[in-house]
Structure 1
Amino acid sequence: METELSHRNTLQDNTPMETPKPETPEVTKADKLPQIIATLAANFISFSAGTLLTWTSPAIPMLQHENSPFRITDQESSWVGSLMSLGAAFGGPPFGIVVNKMGRKRALLALSLPIIASWIIIICTRSVTWLYIARFASGLTMGGVCFAIPIYVAETVEPSIRGPLSAIMQLQLTIGVLFGYLVGLVGDHRALSFISCALPMLFLITFSWMPESPVFLLSKNRKDTAKKALQWLRGRDYDVEDELTKMEDRIQEAQQNKGTLGDLMSSRGTVTALIIALGLMTFQQLSGINAVIFYSGKIFENSSSSLSATTASIIIGVVQVLATYSSTLLVDKAGRRILLLLSSTVMAVCLTALGLYFYLQSHGHDVDSISWLPVASVAMFIIVFSMGFGPIPWIMLGELFPGNVKGIASAVTAAFNWMLAFAVTKSFQNLLDVLGSPVTFWLFAVMCIAGTIFTAVLVPETKGKDLEEIQLQLSGKKNSERELEPVEHYKKHHEASKENYCRICNHAGICNGFTLGAMAVGTVLAWTSPTLPELQSTNSTLPVTREEGSWIGSLVAVGAIAGALPAGYFADRFGRKPVILALSAPFLLSWILITVANAVGTLYAARFIAGFATGAVSVVAPMYIGEIAESSVRGALGSFFQVMLTVGILYTYVVGAIGDYTWLGILSGVIPIVFFISFSRVPESPTYLVKKQRTEDAKKSLQYYRGSSYNIWKELQDLEEDISESTKTKVSIRDLVSSKGIRKALTVSLGLMIFQQLSGVNAVIFYSVDIFNAAGSTLDPNVAAIIVGVVQVVVTYIASAVVDRAGRRVLLLLSASIMGLCLAILGLYFYLKNKGDDVSGIGWLPLLCVTVYIVMFSLGFGPLPWMMMGEVFAPSVKGTASSIAVCTNWTLTFIVTFSFGKLVEGLGEEWTFWLFAIICGVATIFIFYIVPETKGKTLTEIQRILNGGSSPRN
């Protein structure tokens, strides 16, 4: 350090002070407006194509009406609706040759002619055969549009605005769809055809003024014309020479490596890209989107909705336009993966709800009171489709493939997409006839769930990456190496071996010692579920009332508040390990009291003591894990604490099902004893030891956790510097709100804790047996609870495996949104039941909703708030801030648990669950805008983000 400073001083001394710095020439930025104008003008043909897509919705009911000039059957209407997709499948591939021969601009202008011709045929025809021809011809055009527009936009706009402008095609399509709905409302299908026929004529006039793609012009050696086109697109003051040179280099390279179908299958990168592209197109179409749009009128007619089919379709069209416009703003901020995951997940729930409505209707239930459900489900379906699986597969199609195979890959993928669109649209009516509406929509819901899994496992994030970076990632040279600098650079030279990682997990007690403390917490939390019904039965040896049972369930939270308050202080004063070991005593004492209890007061005392230990563990555990784990595995190890907590819950469910509450107390009391013995063998946190200036002990501790072959000196030095910096000033409560970084960390942590509890999770777990009883489920309530426990353990383990890959934000967003939807459906079930409807046919629904709810909670909102609490706070405030966050959590736990029964009595089950669902929706918004991504970042990098160094969404 001294040498470096001396070198800097020498440089400064030898630099003449009077020498002025040369002025840096001001670089003129490209003008965005011409690019936007060109994109909008090109996509006016997409607007026209949208009217082709939606024409069937108002037209088919008119053509099937008895006053129609020629009536068509259901079978014929099915062909009319689906032949356009078949035409698009055949129109896409050959259009690749057309755009390369004629140019992007002239090819797009030429596409307006068959659109005009198809509308003229529709206006004049009195034969269904000519309708077939017109729809097939318009489909040929649609295939060409979907092929040519992305190429033109990608070749004319800058990378910085490529995402939003690429999404304009889908936006213009949806505006065209809405236009078709509106015109269909005020006129017959011929009037719609007349007006729609004028649109491609307007496109001819407007787009003819736009420039040709400079990339195409360069490929034809028309450099001067290409320069003029690029100058128009970038503005007259922009220097285009550098960009023009880069274009020429790319074109030359592409011409030297002309791609064939064999080249598409010859490398790992292109094969992976093809799998991803075909997969996204598959799930886009098998979500049933075209069936929903083409037959939206019939869906609303069959739903007994008070809204007319046309009005409902217009509402959906407006929603679709707004949602697609939102996606153009979000796609380069939120990222492709997050929008795709949210899209497919919420679509699945919407289709499930739609199927449930038709199931109830077909079984004779009175559904007038929920006649809004089909409109709401279809509207929400189209919202999330328009924000994710609508535009993004087409956007990523232009990003995934290298230049030499982009043409053929795009043609293959687009043709595949339209073939699936044809198959789905054509078979939709047949599926309805054979399977019925409920099973048909549930089938599409299953495909959406498969799309979620596919996206989570295979689809990379391409936001903010250039094409070279994307190709490196697809080829197996993961771009995360570049994203996580300097973390990955550090790991490359210093990271412990796989054997040493296993040492952290096994010998350090993460899997066999420390996490038994988490298992002890799980047994405390779940004890009321099998025990309260037994204590409140007529055969109970210690009878308790409902009010007393409420206190028994909620006193754990009161004790946790009392335990959390001093835990941070004690952990800083005496050490993490001694405090954690000492907590085994109150755990053991609480089980002894429960086992020998002969009065309700004794149970109160036992639950309070157990809560005290639980609250203290909740503070110290995340601190301990965050301080011993490397950043690359911090998420997995932090989540494993929650895994063992769910194991404790399952353990309680199983023991409670086969024995009485006395045996449950005895067997639960064994866990803190084993925990004390096993955890006493592991060393103290190296962070705490350095803080107490016990450097030799810290060295031994860190060497133990990293392995004997690991060079700890750099990490130890960084640790000493961080602690020295953070302990220079004493931190008070006031400093928690005066410092921007600490204030932001506190907001994130408290927000996650608040929404974790106000999602109603403890109410669901504590009263899960009561929920199944109230639902009249045919499953034994204890068996149902065990099933839920098994699912929770498995999913929490999955969360620990994917949290350092998928990221915290993705899992939290998925978790909150799906939990909200599950609670909404659960509320709907109880609404129907309390209204007097026969719900025996769907007695499985409460179990399904609670199971999916707990799955998603265990995947995100269960482990991640605790894990992130150990990440977001600086060492100087970690103890105090963690205590505040944990106290907030347990205070809300007490309020929610104690008031759940009163809420049910006052509001009813349905409104109670709907209230929790609304809170989950608010949580989704909070995560999206406030919570930063901490995956793969060191604690120093996280502090930099919180202090304003980066956007939360980066």
Structure 2
Amino acid sequence: MDSTNSTESNEFSSPLLSTELQGHGDNYGVDCEENRHRGTGSVPPVLILTTLVAVSGSYVFGSAVGYSSPSQIGIIDDLNLSVAQYSIVGSILTIGAMIGAVISGRIADYAGRRVAMGFSEVFCILGWFAIAFSKVFWWLYVGRLLVGCGMGLLSYVVPVYIAEITPKNLRGAFTTVHQLMICCGVSLTYLIGAFLNWRILALIGTIPCLVQLLGLFFIPESPRWLAKFGSWERSESALRQLRGKNADVSQEATEIKDFTEALQRKTEDSIIGLFRLQYMKSLIVGVGLMILQQFGGVNAIAFYATSIFISAGFSGSIGTIAMVAVQIPMSTLGVFLMDKSGRRPLLLISASGTCLGCFLAALSFLLQDLHIWKEVSPILALVGVLVYTGSFSLGMGAIPWIIMSEIFPINVKGSAGSLVTLVSWFCSWIVSYAFNFLMTWNSSGTFFIFASICGFTILFVAKLVPETKGRTLEEIQSSLNPYSTKR
């Protein structure tokens, strides 16, 4: 934020404007939606195209997550790696993502959402090439680290960008496409990896990177990001482009301008500044959801699905194909339900399903350890993993990222986004690195731990997570951070 705004922050102390902004958000409501789409009757093609370019990055994210499972045997054989070394291959991706998370908010805030996505793809392309042409294990590590850096950037900027460009009645569904494309990336990488060499699979990973990199030249910047830097005319122009030629964007543009101007009178808070009372509720919700999402075991299952099925006595290839058959339809269902049922109900159902899935998988390994019902335990493991995967894809995969993109005001969004994304990837690293060792220690105990965490997630959502369906970003942020526009 510039020095002028920092000076003005000392002069701004009116509680009236904060209340006025909240009231303005309430009055905005349905009338603005009707005006915005009057004469259009459908979603503007530019909004669809822009979202598709953005979620090309989500596909890159998914392909990186899905890469380690089908390539595990080939890489271990070709590069003569131990299980411990291959655990680093899986987990170093999340270390790179932590590095990307640290810089994601700053790059997205100061260079723009499109530039941040462009940077991420450069990292990913370099990483995929390093993996594809690696002759020794440390080149493999470098490649996974670079892809991870790109993922860390993408995991923050894609949902934030989509949330900022879409109208409130479509925001949930469009932001959920981020998770749908992650699932597509994971699933198709599983399928392709079952038939192709791991080096060719890495080269194929560069294709969606190039698609997004080229597509960024044809989409508008976020209107809210432009407004943050005082580019009001460009902000309104981008908003009009995204809403369609016949849409009336005056009320939406005015609300964005009023809310942004109020926040600009404050200095921009650093990560340390986030731990003030006025942001505490948003921080607890955002960070809490990410911790519970990761410690529920998602990346352990995604990274090592093949070895889980083999350990349970089931076919690894059939198991991963079954996961593909579940992931994409359930993610698609989540897209359609997001703006109808709301965030909280889907989160509660999804968390309940992941708890049940982990419990069934744990029960399968327990029966195996007790040497009873040997013919049943592999099927039980398959059912448990599929229930977990389907339930996670329905809500827990997408909604924490949606809520993260909705709850923080623009003056702290960069710092908050970096922190939340960093926490997510740090927890993912812990789980993905420790998983193989936990399975060696006690397979059933590992999944019982995951089940317990998923059970706690249900309580967390029921008690603390707000419903954000059908509300503008400004309304959500004013209600959660009532003093964010006051000194």
**Superposed pair shares fold, TM > 0.5:** yes
Q: Distance in 2 between matches of 1:496 and 1:640?
A: 25
* 1:727 matched to 2:264: yes
Code of the aligned partner of 1:871 = E
In the other structure, the counterpart of 1:151 is: none
In the other structure, the counterpart of 1:574 is: 111
* 1:29-108 alignment runs, 5 A limit: none
In the other structure, the counterpart of 1:11 is: none
* 1:420-459 alignment runs, 5 A limit: none
* 1:642 matched to 2:179: yes
Q: Distance in 1 between matches of 2:117 and 2:226?
A: 16
In the other structure, the counterpart of 2:396 is: 861
Tell me, what secondary structure is at the counterpart of 2:79? coil
The structure 2 residue matched to 1:532, chosen from 60, 69, 72, is 72
Q: Distance in 2 between matches of 1:679 and 1:636?
A: 22
Q: Distance in 1 between matches of 2:461 and 2:180?
A: 23
Code of the aligned partner of 2:45 = R
Q: Distance in 2 between matches of 1:752 and 1:612?
A: 22
Code of the aligned partner of 1:773 = I
In the other structure, the counterpart of 1:693 is: 230
* 1:928 matched to 2:476: no
| Per-residue deviation, 1:658 | 1.0
| Per-residue deviation, 1:902 | 1.4
Code of the aligned partner of 2:393 = S
The alpha-carbon distance between structure 1 residues 493 and 681, as it changes in their structure 2 partners (threshold 3 A), is closer
Tell me, what secondary structure is at the counterpart of 1:527? helix
In the other structure, the counterpart of 2:4 is: none
* 1:852 matched to 2:387: yes
In the other structure, the counterpart of 1:909 is: 443
In the other structure, the counterpart of 1:488 is: 30
In the other structure, the counterpart of 1:704 is: 241
Code of the aligned partner of 1:689 = L
The alpha-carbon distance between structure 1 residues 593 and 732, as it changes in their structure 2 partners (threshold 3 A), is closer
In the other structure, the counterpart of 2:13 is: none
In the other structure, the counterpart of 1:319 is: none
* 1:717 matched to 2:257: no
Between the two structures, name the one with larger relative contact order (CA 8 Å, sep ≥ 6): 2
In the other structure, the counterpart of 2:10 is: none
| Per-residue deviation, 1:683 | 1.1
Q: Distance in 1 between matches of 2:123 and 2:227?
A: 29
**Cα deviations by residue, 1:275-298 (Å, 9 ceiling, x for unpaired):** xxxxxxxxxxxxxxxxxxxxxxxx
The structure 2 residue matched to 1:739, chosen from 271, 277, 281, is 277
* 1:661 matched to 2:198: yes
| Per-residue deviation, 1:671 | 1.7
| Per-residue deviation, 1:735 | 3.4
Q: Distance in 1 between matches of 2:115 and 2:417?
A: 18
The alpha-carbon distance between structure 1 residues 497 and 666, as it changes in their structure 2 partners (threshold 3 A), is farther
Q: Distance in 2 between matches of 1:825 and 1:498?
A: 49
Q: Distance in 2 between matches of 1:857 and 1:713?
A: 39
The structure 2 residue matched to 1:522, chosen from 62, 78, 84, is 62
Q: Distance in 1 between matches of 2:409 and 2:103?
A: 19
* 1:613 matched to 2:150: yes
* 1:627 matched to 2:164: yes
Contact 2:126–2:143 (CA under 8 A) maintained in structure 1: yes
Code of the aligned partner of 2:463 = Y
Contact 1:500–1:706 (CA under 8 A) maintained in structure 2: no
Q: Distance in 2 between matches of 1:767 and 1:497?
A: 50
Contact 2:55–2:158 (CA under 8 A) maintained in structure 1: no
The structure 2 residue matched to 1:830, chosen from 346, 365, 368, is 365
Contact 2:44–2:243 (CA under 8 A) maintained in structure 1: no
Code of the aligned partner of 1:585 = V
Tell me, what secondary structure is at the counterpart of 1:876? coil
Code of the aligned partner of 1:911 = G
* 1:314-463 alignment runs, 5 A limit: none
The structure 2 residue matched to 1:543, chosen from 80, 85, 104, is 80
Contact 2:359–2:384 (CA under 8 A) maintained in structure 1: no
Tell me, what secondary structure is at the counterpart of 2:169? coil
In the other structure, the counterpart of 1:756 is: 293
| Per-residue deviation, 1:505 | 4.2
* 1:682 matched to 2:219: yes
In the other structure, the counterpart of 2:452 is: 918
* 1:132-211 alignment runs, 5 A limit: none
In the other structure, the counterpart of 1:558 is: 95
In the other structure, the counterpart of 1:877 is: 412
Code of the aligned partner of 1:640 = V
| Per-residue deviation, 1:533 | 2.0
Code of the aligned partner of 1:739 = L
| Per-residue deviation, 1:500 | 5.2
Contact 2:131–2:139 (CA under 8 A) maintained in structure 1: yes
**Cα deviations by residue, 1:483-509 (Å, 9 ceiling, x for unpaired):** x8752233233335556514244332x
| Per-residue deviation, 1:734 | 4.3
Code of the aligned partner of 1:802 = L
In the other structure, the counterpart of 1:785 is: 320
Q: Distance in 1 between matches of 2:375 and 2:64?
A: 34
Tell me, what secondary structure is at the counterpart of 2:220? coil
Tell me, what secondary structure is at the counterpart of 1:683? coil
Code of the aligned partner of 2:285 = V
| Per-residue deviation, 1:826 | 1.2
| Per-residue deviation, 1:790 | 2.8
| Per-residue deviation, 1:598 | 0.5
Code of the aligned partner of 1:727 = Q
Contact 2:357–2:386 (CA under 8 A) maintained in structure 1: no
In the other structure, the counterpart of 1:805 is: 340
Code of the aligned partner of 1:708 = K
Unaligned runs of 5+ in 2: 1-25
The alpha-carbon distance between structure 1 residues 496 and 648, as it changes in their structure 2 partners (threshold 3 A), is farther
**Cα deviations by residue, 1:370-392 (Å, 9 ceiling, x for unpaired):** xxxxxxxxxxxxxxxxxxxxxxx
In the other structure, the counterpart of 2:22 is: none
Contact 1:748–1:931 (CA under 8 A) maintained in structure 2: yes
Q: Distance in 2 between matches of 1:595 and 1:940?
A: 45
Q: Distance in 2 between matches of 1:797 and 1:497?
A: 28
Question: Between Structure 1 and Structure 2, whose CA radius of gyration is higher?
Answer: 1
TM-score by length of 2: 0.91
Q: Distance in 2 between matches of 1:561 and 1:782?
A: 31
In the other structure, the counterpart of 1:794 is: 329
Contact 2:96–2:152 (CA under 8 A) maintained in structure 1: yes
In the other structure, the counterpart of 1:336 is: none
The alpha-carbon distance between structure 1 residues 689 and 940, as it changes in their structure 2 partners (threshold 3 A), is closer
* 1:765 matched to 2:302: yes
| Per-residue deviation, 1:948 | 6.9
Q: Distance in 2 between matches of 1:502 and 1:529?
A: 39
Q: Distance in 1 between matches of 2:309 and 2:259?
A: 51
The alpha-carbon distance between structure 1 residues 811 and 558, as it changes in their structure 2 partners (threshold 3 A), is same
**Cα deviations by residue, 1:409-453 (Å, 9 ceiling, x for unpaired):** xxxxxxxxxxxxxxxxxxxxxxxxxxxxxxxxxxxxxxxxxxxxx
Contact 1:555–1:894 (CA under 8 A) maintained in structure 2: yes
Contact 1:637–1:800 (CA under 8 A) maintained in structure 2: yes
In the other structure, the counterpart of 1:893 is: 428
In the other structure, the counterpart of 1:102 is: none
Contact 2:312–2:377 (CA under 8 A) maintained in structure 1: no
Code of the aligned partner of 1:800 = V
Tell me, what secondary structure is at the counterpart of 2:203? helix
In the other structure, the counterpart of 1:501 is: 43
**Cα deviations by residue, 1:877-920 (Å, 9 ceiling, x for unpaired):** 111001000000000000000011111222x1111100111111
Unaligned runs of 5+ in 1: 1-483, 950-954
TM-score by length of 1: 0.47
